[in-house]
Amino acid sequence: MRVIAGSAKRLQLKTISGLDTRPTTDRIKETLFNMIAPSLYDCSFLDLFAGSGAIGIEALSRGAGKAVFVEQNPKAVQCIHENLLHTHLEQKAEVRKEDVIGAIRRMEGKQRFDLIFMDPPYHQEWEYQVLKELASSSLLDKDTLIIVEAAKETSFSYLDELGFSLVKEKEYKTNKHVFLHRDE
């Protein structure tokens, strides 16, 4: 796995072994970042369920002003720190070793994000739980773009009830990216 473009282009990133994380493939990452490229410059980026940090690091490499990484697995947190040092992007990053819901609650009223990306464990309904928490959060506003990476068969039929609108959906072989805005 590597950084695709920007200041850290072509640098290899570490990942943790095992099935606890599913690194986003370079091809899917490139597709995703081509779609959000106009929104990246100097943005504030939140990477939830950050794993190795590859998505947030790609955002920083492509011009995001800052990125917050939230991950509770200690091995993954260490991997994020190592990848940030390797890419020389640590000055623009904050790494929070805690669960996602707790992190959202503790950041409340202190920050606002332009882009929020989450790649939770599949088939455990984390998407719903996190979106429910974000529905009334001050971490975002109507212009914040939320991107959820989920298993292809994951239903988002509850978006209206939580106050979110589907902007677009991009399907791949086994998973998809769902792009959302909060209704205001």
**What local confidence, expressed as pLDDT, does residue 18 receive?**
58
Q: Which residue has the tokens 């690194």?
A: 23
Q: Nearest Cα to 20, choosing from 64, 71, 92?
A: 71
Structure tokens that stand for 159 in this block: 């978006």
CA distance 37 to 184: 24
Cα separations in angstroms, 92 against 14, 28, 46, 65, 88: 19, 24, 12, 7, 9
* 3-state SS, residue 36: helix
Residue 26 bridge partners (DSSP) = none
Q: What is the 3-state secondary structure (H, E, C) of 96-110?
A: EECCHHHHHHHHCCC
How many Cβ atoms sit within 10 Å of the Cβ of residue 118?
Answer: 23
**What local confidence, expressed as pLDDT, does residue 31 receive?**
87
Does CATH place domain 27-182 in 3.40.50.150? Answer: yes
pLDDT tens sequence for the chain (184 residues):
755 556 656 566 677 765 455 566 667 888 899 899 999 999 999 999 999 899 999 999 989 999 999 999 999 999 999 999 998 999 999 999 999 999 999 999 999 999 999 999 999 999 999 999 999 999 999 999 999 999 999 999 999 999 999 999 999 998 999 999 999 7
**What local confidence, expressed as pLDDT, does residue 16 receive?**
76
